[in-house]
Amino acid sequence: MNAHFNMILLQAGGSPYTSLIMMGLIFVVFYFFMIRPQQKKQKDQKKFIEELKKGDQVVTLGGMHGRIYAIEGDTIQLEVDRGTKLTFDRASISMESTKRVTKE
């Protein structure tokens, strides 16, 4: 297996600059396909959580469906049935699930 790896390095030119360029390209690809989309998703989730308001239909990360009854700081009270209210942490609201349910 090592012989094959050494052959690949020799075919790539074998110079230290080529290795550095390849590592740099790998990092750039990793950034644009992994890190950047994850940062965007986190930013969108944060914006979604901040824009929640009373009366919005939401879904929690655990799958609980309800309408926002009250917002108090970092907690949200959901009305899941008439007269049944549950308190959740604001961060437990799922943006993806909520959007999926409200589109239907």
Q: What is the CATH number of the domain that holds 62?
A: 2.30.30
* 41 and 71 belong to one structural domain: no
* 62 and 96 belong to one structural domain: yes
Q: Which amino acid is at 96?
A: E
pLDDT on residue 39: 92
3-state secondary structure of 28: helix
* 86 and 68 belong to one structural domain: yes
* 58 and 92 belong to one structural domain: yes
Digits of tens for pLDDT over the chain (104 positions)?
A: 555 555 555 555 557 788 888 889 999 998 888 889 999 999 999 999 999 999 999 999 999 999 999 999 899 999 999 989 999 999 999 988 888 887 75
* 7 and 42 belong to one structural domain: yes
* Count of structural domains, the chain: 2
* 22 and 64 belong to one structural domain: no
* 57 and 18 belong to one structural domain: no
End-to-end CA distance of the chain: 53
pLDDT on residue 19: 81
* 58 and 88 belong to one structural domain: yes
pTM above 0.85, yes or no: no
Residue-number span of the structural domain to which 85 is assigned? 53-103
**Which residue in 101, 23, 6 sits closest to 63, CA to CA?**
101
Euclidean distance between CA atoms 9 and 22, whole angstroms:
11
